[in-house]
Amino acid sequence: MDLESSPFYHLLDTNHATSCAEAKHIREFLRLPEQELRDIDEEIARLHTRKEKLSSYIHKHRQLLSPIRRFPPEMIAELFTYCLPSTYPPTRDPSEAPLLLTLVCKQWREIALCTPYLWSALHIYIPYSRVQDKGFMEIRKNRIKQWLERSGNLPLSLSLTHRKSDWEWTRQGSDNQELLISSLMECFIEYSSRWKDLTLNAPDTVFQLIGAVPPEKLRALQRLSINVPYSYYHPTPSREFEESLFAFLNRLPRLTSLHLRKHSLLPFQSGSQQWSKLTELSLLPSLDRYGRDDDPLLFNDVMRLLSQTPDLRVCKLMIKVDVTAIEHRVTLPLLHDLTFVFCTHGEPSLTLAQSLTAPSLANLTISTLTKYGHVDGTFSRGLLLKLFKESTFIQSLHIGIITAIALPLYDLFHLVPRLKSLTISYETDRDQTQKLIRMLSGSPAVVDKSSPEPESSLPLFPELQTLKLLDVGSDNCLTPSDLLNLIRSRQEYSSLYSSQNSDPDSRKCHALRTLEVYFTGWCDRKDVTPEIMEAFERLREEGMDICIAYSEWREEPEPEPEWNDDLPWEGLYDWEGLSEWEINRSSRMIKTKPENAEMVYI
């Protein structure tokens, strides 16, 4: 159908107004084309319907060829176990395993429900606003029982959270409320003989019910984590709770992992047999929504406690170092993971840094709390120097030390050449940051390939795969381009030394796999070009985990408006003799004035 053959071709794309006769002629002329268009639409709809039927027919038959249908149920059940959350116990969220697996198809539902391991862990939450709702509590109790019954006879990992509101702390709970809580806890305690990992984030009233469990039903419990929530009116648990907690710990013969968020209440009794069994110990602060946290443990108490834990593998402590601290000699030969959160008053003696020996240390975190002031740089440096020298296995290092002056630590880094992960979470000055980037980048272009000792040309931490700079100030002049160059430099080293050194025992240089940088200041838009963004996106597509964040964009200041004495509204009004209110009212009537741009005019 050609437009040129139309009798109205000469009128097309013009402003011609048709007459009544021409309009009638055009309608008659379009009758056949419009009918043809309707026929085509009907044919398209028919073909579309036919296409959908054919696609459905083919898809349903191709499903019979799916390889997953040939998997035996045992293999599918094993695969299901890898779908569970890795960092927290499963919840009742239907968008996550195991509940999600029951919603795919009938076969998967049957397999999931018959796989006890999928139901051997659960996080239980009891909201304070619903604790007096009998119907809600009964449903929650039945769901817990139904979930745990599917676990067979496997050991259980359970997490229980129940918080009181402030008004509940100020009055006695009703008999009905206590009865409902007790009823639900009875269901929880029914499985106490299979508790292996127990996390409690609940007030002492709930813990008292747990503490009443007979010792013979707690023989399987190996890991215990307790956090007693704060209240504005009850900032610390009662003395009775403190005593019952210590008694409860002594009734756990197989306990090897203890995590307390209310450590200041723990009675550190010398000679307790319980400490000698621990392989994991975490005594960190419990910060509430009012900004209050626990008083830290004194240095002397910490050292006495650690002297009773010779088999400790994981240790996380907040420590107060003051003038009363004295030197100790504690050796933990199996310690693998160490976290020290320091808060100091005064300048601790350098000899205190020599108190701990950990020859097998692999993961080290040293940080401070800002509310307690700065840490003396000499003490921090001495502690790191001792730990670095005594352990040749350190692979992960997290430094968050805040000092009164810049802390020169980079000259110690050569003592941990096997480091695979580095995190720095304190604000460094410009020179320190740039020096670190240069040390990590090296200069692969000038490496002498004929050198008999190629390791001498390697950059700092040649095995580093994870780098996190979590508090970079805006004055560091570190741009996305600098970070991109760092990544590319490490990639060049990795390619160079992997092809040059065929000996599997020789040191290699690895490319970065994870890079996280958080700036406390703004980002200049001119530093983020499309080419740089595309380069980072390609790296992500290749499998690298990259996160670079700024607090905000840098906004260019608006230029001062030029003075203009030739404005179009000048001379319209005679301002002399008018009051200030009248001048403002008259001025606001002029819509085109720049200062009135945000006003609404009716």
Percent of the chain with pLDDT over 70: 74
**Among 104-108, 463-467, 495-499, the least confident range:** 495-499
499, amino acid identity: S
Average pLDDT, integer, range 254-259: 92
Instruction: Provide the token pair at 37.
Output: 């268009």
CB of 107 within 8 A of CB of 72?
no
Helix residue ranges per DSSP H, 201-348: 204-211, 239-249, 299-306
Split at pLDDT 50, 70, 90, the class of 281 is very high
> In this predicted structure, what is the pLDDT of residue 95?
92
What tens digit of pLDDT does each residue of 533-582 get? 999 999 999 999 998 888 777 666 556 666 655 555 554 444 444 444 34
pLDDT of 301 > 90? The answer is no
> In this predicted structure, what is the pLDDT of residue 145?
94
CB of 246 within 8 A of CB of 279?
no
Rounded to the nearest integer, the mean pLDDT of the chain is 79
Distance CA 599, CA 269 (A): 72
Task: Identify which has the larger pLDDT, 98 or 372.
Answer: 98
CB of 280 within 8 A of CB of 259?
yes
pLDDT of 240 > 50? The answer is yes
> In this predicted structure, what is the pLDDT of residue 568?
58
Distance CA 231, CA 171 (A): 13
Q: Which range, 205-219, 327-341, 344-358, 404-418, has the best average confidence (pLDDT)?
A: 327-341
Cβ neighbours around 550 below 10 Å, total:
19
Split at pLDDT 50, 70, 90, the class of 365 is very high
DSSP 577: T
What tens digit of pLDDT does each residue of 168-206 get? 544 445 556 677 778 888 888 999 999 999 998 887 777
> In this predicted structure, what is the pLDDT of residue 374?
54
> In this predicted structure, what is the pLDDT of residue 235?
53
What SS3 state is found at 3?
A: helix
pTM for this predicted structure? 0.74
> In this predicted structure, what is the pLDDT of residue 486?
94
Instruction: Provide the token pair at 259.
Output: 């995590």
pLDDT of 501 > 60? The answer is no
Percent of the chain with pLDDT over 90: 35
CB of 77 within 8 A of CB of 115?
yes
Split at pLDDT 50, 70, 90, the class of 268 is low
DSSP 596: G
> In this predicted structure, what is the pLDDT of residue 315?
94
pLDDT of 502 > 50? The answer is yes
Cβ neighbours around 143 below 10 Å, total:
14
> In this predicted structure, what is the pLDDT of residue 452?
45
> In this predicted structure, what is the pLDDT of residue 303?
87
Q: Which range, 25-29, 73-77, 122-126, 268-272, has the best average confidence (pLDDT)?
A: 73-77
CB of 123 within 8 A of CB of 90?
yes
What tens digit of pLDDT does each residue of 215-225 get? 899 999 999 99
Strands 356-357 and 363-368: what pairing? Answer: unpaired
What tens digit of pLDDT does each residue of 127-182 get? 877 877 888 888 999 999 999 999 999 999 999 988 765 445 444 455 566 777 78
CB of 440 within 8 A of CB of 467?
yes
Q: Would you give the distance in Å from CA 518 to the centre of its chain?
A: 13
